[in-house]
């Protein structure tokens, strides 16, 4: 009886994931304290709450609940200047400062002409610090003298986010929209496409923001040039965000976008166009439904917070726990070996289809299996169907991979192999060869493998 050994012209190194569920840890010290802001500075997490400021570093926690004069304080916003000094917005139109190795001290408080309010946005420039309040206040003060000036406005809602150009405001995000100033002009311009703007960041040369448009849909916008306008980031895998407010956002080191929403966290891979959801529906042990603030520390640890439930540490597992497994490619009939799983690397599929990407290459590969099975009538095979994981619809991906593996089975049975010798098994997008990466790598994830079982 003919027995061929699997001799490959090349080895395909495949990644099979041992991905585990993320680990959620409630930081009990913050439960019921009213967490208002998270700030990642140099790998240290600063947490502002109604009961003061905390710093988490290497598993250790340091608290400041009173100023150098013994006064209790709350923290609603945090920023750091170029020297590493931390600045904090308080709850009474005031600002506190935390020099390295010292206790917090109040360095600014607006006089009675300013309606007392929480400083929910704080940004420091070269010589100035800018404050935004929850009742419309915008004030700037000089670092050294703390001489200050209020920007006139009739708006009485949240001032959510600033972006500075040097010492001057370039963008202001408020509950009533996005305002911008091109060249230190006295008159501010309103970006008419937004009804509200909740967070603004600049990454490299690109400006990013989250807000709500005139159709009352929550969106992500970006631009490299403020004079040209903004483009909406098309996040197709999220679906309709009409009711899912985006409260905050951040980037990890792989340039993946993290969104903090009223229904949990969303991680969006802009290369893969892939979403991963972290919410109570997907993970029963996720202790927080609504996420108001997010701080991404590295690619495996992040923190989520809201005012009511406090602070949660999330440790991601699986991305760093992949095993290298050698997959052999089927190139000739002399390459087949009993009880090995082989990669049919020449059988690739079109996007969202069971049609072969290259029909002739697929025919040549499958003809090798037909020839082998004809020569070994007691042997059977298992076919494994896989898709890419471009979308988060597991049911659809499972059906698609089943249709693909059935397409291969159909070819084999049409060429004389009995159906009872072929098991067709679908895995959807659960076992990708490549995580992330290029379009070509996603094509390789859309594949079929075969296990030859000898009797």
Q: Is 218 helix (H, G, I), strand (E, B) or coil?
A: strand
Structure tokens that stand for 414 in this block? 């049409």
Q: How far apart are the first and last CA of the chain?
A: 12
pLDDT beneath 70, residues of the chain: 1-20, 101, 182-186, 238-243, 318-327, 389-392, 435-441, 455
CATH 3.30.1330.60 range(s) for the chain read 11-17+323-453
- What is the bridge-based pairing of β-strands 264-269 and 274-278? antiparallel
Q: Is 397 helix (H, G, I), strand (E, B) or coil?
A: helix
DSSP assignment string, 43-105: TEEEEEETTEEEEEETTEEEEE-B-TTS-B---SEEEE-TTS-EEEE-SSSEEEEE-TTS--E
- What is the bridge-based pairing of β-strands 177-180 and 246-251? unpaired
**Per-residue pLDDT, 18:** 40
Q: Is 16 helix (H, G, I), strand (E, B) or coil?
A: strand
Structure tokens that stand for 372 in this block? 């082998």
Q: Is 398 helix (H, G, I), strand (E, B) or coil?
A: helix
Q: How far apart are the C-alpha atoms of 322 and 329, rounded to whole Å? A: 21
**Per-residue pLDDT, 17:** 38
State the virtual CA torsion across 409, 412, 414, 417 in degrees, nearest 10: -110
CA angle 178, 182, 187 (to 5 degrees): 75
User: How far is residue 234 CA from its own chain's centroid?
Assistant: 14
Sequence-distant (6+) residues with CB within 8 A of 402 are 385, 424, 426
**Per-residue pLDDT, 257:** 95
Kind plus residue range of the DSSP H or E element containing 401? helix 394-414
- Do 144 and 136 meet the contact criterion of CB atoms below 8 Å apart? no
Q: How far apart are the C-alpha atoms of 83 and 37, rounded to whole Å? A: 21
Q: How far apart are the C-alpha atoms of 437 and 139, rounded to whole Å? A: 45
* pTM metric for this prediction: 0.67
Q: What is the CATH number of domain 11-17+323-453?
A: 3.30.1330.60
- Do 14 and 325 meet the contact criterion of CB atoms below 8 Å apart? yes
**Per-residue pLDDT, 278:** 93
CATH 2.130.10.10 range(s) for the chain read 23-315
Q: Which fold has domain 23-315?
A: Methylamine Dehydrogenase; Chain H (2.130.10)
What would the pLDDT profile of 160-207 be if each residue is shown by its tens digit? Answer: 999 998 899 999 999 999 998 766 566 778 888 899 999 999 998 999
What is the overall mean pLDDT for the chain? 85
- For residue 400, with 0-12 CB atoms within 10 Å meaning exposed, 13-18 middle and 19 or more buried, which class applies? buried
Q: How far apart are the C-alpha atoms of 293 and 234, rounded to whole Å? A: 23
Backbone angles phi, psi at 404, to 5 degrees: -70, -45
> What is the chain's percent helix, strand, coil content, to nearest 5?
10, 40, 45
- Do 268 and 255 meet the contact criterion of CB atoms below 8 Å apart? no
Kind plus residue range of the DSSP H or E element containing 233? none
What would the pLDDT profile of 51-61 be if each residue is shown by its tens digit? Answer: 999 999 877 89
Q: How many helices (H) and strands (E) does the chain have?
A: 3, 34
Sequence-distant (6+) residues with CB within 8 A of 108 are 94, 95, 129, 141, 146, 148
């Amino acid at each position: 009886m003919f027995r061929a050994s699997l001799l490959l012209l090349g080895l395909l190194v495949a990644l099979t994931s041992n991905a585990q569920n993320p680990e959620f840890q409630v930081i009990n010290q913050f439960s019921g304290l009213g967490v208002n802001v998270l700030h990642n500075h140099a790998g240290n997490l600063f947490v502002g709450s109604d009961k003061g400021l905390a710093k988490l570093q290497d598993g250790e926690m340091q608290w400041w609940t009173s100023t150098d004069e013994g006064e209790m304080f709350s923290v609603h916003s945090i920023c750091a200047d170029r020297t590493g000094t931390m600045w904090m917005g308080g709850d009474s139109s005031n600002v506190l400062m935390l020099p390295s190795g010292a206790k917090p001290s109040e360095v600014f408080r607006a006089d009675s002409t300013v309606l007392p309010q929480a400083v929910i946005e704080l940004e420091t420039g070269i010589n100035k610090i800018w404050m935004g309040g929850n009742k419309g206040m915008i004030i700037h003060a000089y670092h050294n003298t703390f001489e200050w000036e209020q920007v006139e406005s009739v708006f009485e809602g949240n001032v959510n986010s600033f972006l500075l150009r040097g010492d001057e405001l370039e963008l202001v995000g408020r509950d009533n929209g996005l305002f911008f100033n091109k060249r230190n002009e006295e008159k501010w311009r309103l970006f008419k496409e937004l009804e509200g703007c909740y967070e603004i960041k600049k990454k490299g040369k690109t400006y990013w923001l989250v807000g709500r448009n005139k159709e009352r849909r929550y969106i992500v916008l970006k631009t490299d040039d403020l004079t040209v306008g903004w483009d909406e980031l098309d996040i197709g895998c999220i679906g309709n965000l009409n009711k899912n407010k985006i409260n905050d956002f951040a980037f990890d080191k792989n340039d993946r976008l993290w969104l903090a929403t009223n229904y949990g966290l969303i991680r969006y891979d802009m290369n893969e166009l892939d979403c991963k959801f972290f919410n109570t529906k997907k993970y029963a042990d996720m202790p927080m439904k609504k996420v108001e603030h997010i701080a991404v520390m590295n690619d495996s640890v992040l923190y989520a917070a809201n005012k009511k439930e406090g602070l949660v540490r999330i440790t991601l597992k699986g991305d760093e726990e992949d095993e290298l497994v050698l997959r052999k490619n089927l190139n000739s009939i002399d390459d087949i070996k009993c009880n090995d799983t082989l990669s049919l690397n020449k059988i690739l599929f079109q996007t969202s289809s069971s049609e072969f990407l290259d029909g002739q290459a697929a025919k040549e590969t499958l003809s090798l299996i037909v020839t082998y099975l004809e020569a070994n009538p007691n042997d059977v095979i298992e076919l494994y169907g896989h898709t890419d994981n471009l979308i988060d619809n597991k049911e659809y991906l499972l059906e698609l991979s089943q249709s693909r593996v059935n397409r291969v089975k159909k070819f084999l049975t049409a060429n004389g192999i009995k159906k009872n010798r072929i098991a067709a098994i679908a895995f959807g997008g659960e076992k990708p060869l490549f995580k992330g990466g290029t379009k070509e790598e996603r094509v390789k994830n859309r594949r079929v493998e075969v296990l030859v079982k000898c009797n």
